[in-house]
Structure 1
Amino acid sequence: MTFTRRDFIVGSMAAAALPQLAQAQALEKTKLTIAVGGKNLFYYLPLTIAEQLGYFKAEGLDVTIVDFAGGSRALQAVVGGSADVVSGAFEHTINMQFKGQPMRAFVLQGAAPQIVLGVNPKTLPNFKSVADLKGKKIGVTAPGSSTNVLANFVLAKAGLKPSDVSFVGVGAGSGAVAAMRAGQIDAMSNLDPVITLLTRSGDMRIVTDTRNMAEAEKVFGGPMPAGCLYAPQPFLDKHPHTAQALANAMVRANKWIQQAGGGDIIKAVPESYLLGDRAVYIDGFLAAKQAMSVDGSFPAKGAETAFRALASVDDKLAAAKLNLNAVYTNDFVKKANAKYPRG
């Protein structure tokens, strides 16, 4: 039996494809949908990088990302069955355990919330303290989202209840910018690049800034995990290899971001993310970068911090006995870091 050069090449190609084939076969689910609330935000930048640089595909995944107005809407998509995984705020896992629908976070994107609460200098020119927000309209990405949670927390520290203000959903993009500039809201809790755009144009005065790690820990009294991938516990139980593949891609994205400069980010993200101003986008990235996770790991005290923040504005939750170890796991992240020590 003789082998031609063509046989050798075909055989070599088949052999090279075997590892990928084996990987694809090991995945319980290759096609899946991730729901996110405000995909253009730096809060979710690792998700976009994993998508744009092909990290999901490299893991054998065919991922569809569906964007919603805020994190609470993204969560509803998974609860309703139209998405498999949420790219959203960590604290939703605590709320869902309290509601008897266990969700577990399995790879971190943000080491701090990156949420900024600021006031509108047009409608509140004489603003002196958070107490001045009583009776005012506060814009949030969507009611019930992490931007709403931060606003509630800051209000509570000033002796105000959520019912003392009116919350308005303004999204996480140009709509939020327009609402602030038009004076439709008196304050806003939102994220970059929206915040940098408004502060540079003089349309927002910052009150609380959790893009700064030190200020975030001071506000919340400990490490406050932010954006992450989380899913219903049954999904993780049934699809551990798929969850591992997702964690692998996200850890690679986290590590790429840590090495990236402003120019790298501009090339990697869709043009629509820039909100018409590349310089502002780069400034926003540099402001948010320190608050992004280095390796996808959840801090040991993070769940306790998040619980305290939620409990401060919800008496029923505060009285609940929850298993905070069940709302996150670092098991997938440990394996991902072993596979991609340098990204």
Structure 2
Amino acid sequence: MRDGTRYPDILVVDLLGGLGDLVMVLPVIHALARRNPGAAVRVLTHAPGDVLVESDPAVTEVVRAEKGDERAAVAAELDRRRPALVVSTTRHSGIPEEIESRGVRSVTNLWRNPPPDEQVSRRYLRILAAEGLVDDVDVPPSIHLTPAERVRGAATLADHTDPGRPVVLVPGAGMAVKHWPHWAALARGLAGRGTSPLVVTGDPAPGAWAEELARPLPPTGLRDLAALFAAVGDRGGTVVGPDTGPVRMAAAVGARTVGLFGPTAAARYGLGPAGVDLQGLPGCPHRRPTAITEQVCWWEARCPLAADGPACMADLSPDSVLRASHAG
């Protein structure tokens, strides 16, 4: 049922802590802005992801919360400027109760009753559509880049690659449970096909193979990295990496991606139609698509099926990733 109300001031709260979490809520921000033209749309989130929405035409203001102080940040923002509508992805730290206590129109549980095979972004939109708050239910995440950033991204890519379709590897997993152990083998396979891949360096460092078999990219800010990914997409290239924020960024600026999914289910956390999502060990009995943080392996990467790391990630063979990287 459509809610005919126009909300002049909207606060979107995403304090889940991950860069990828913010990317997945971008369709909500954009759908709310389309439904409420002229509204002030504020986004309360964490650094460093806050920079991804700073130039977005749909966003009026970005407010940053410090980690560990999320509820106080929400309270301060509600006091600073009372919104007409609050939409929040965040269930921890008493944040739903803080929002609901203010008596404003709000949706504070976008995680309710999720099907195991519906992508998170689409689920958010379906819930808000059921609440009558948005019209769109199938819009992929999209990061806005300025023309100047796109020019810089194309120049950086040209400085580090030969002509043709580039392949960029993103080995940094953020969490040990998402670490893929076959990067060196993939780089060798790409070299055998005449491709010298670029490698996004970071913490942890990718290892000696990155210097021997690839071209490491210099450290850069998130927006410049997003612009480089956009240039990869413009040249028909591919970004390869696990289910992490940077790879979600690549998909959200139009690059083709090859996503390496192990502990998370590709059916729920996949990167979208512009690439290939590969699922390691599809029949793992310990995977919980709708409650990933409750999985036995999640926090410490202790896999019940293998002593030397997540069996689901090791199950993704270098050959299968190589074939996906050169497809299309």
Higher RCO (CA 8 Å, separation ≥ 6 residues): 1
Task: Please identify the structure whose Cα radius of gyration is greater.
Answer: 1
Structure with the higher fraction of residues in helix conformation: 1
TM range (shorter): under 0.3
- Return the TM-score normalized by structure 1: 0.27
- Return the TM-score normalized by structure 2: 0.28
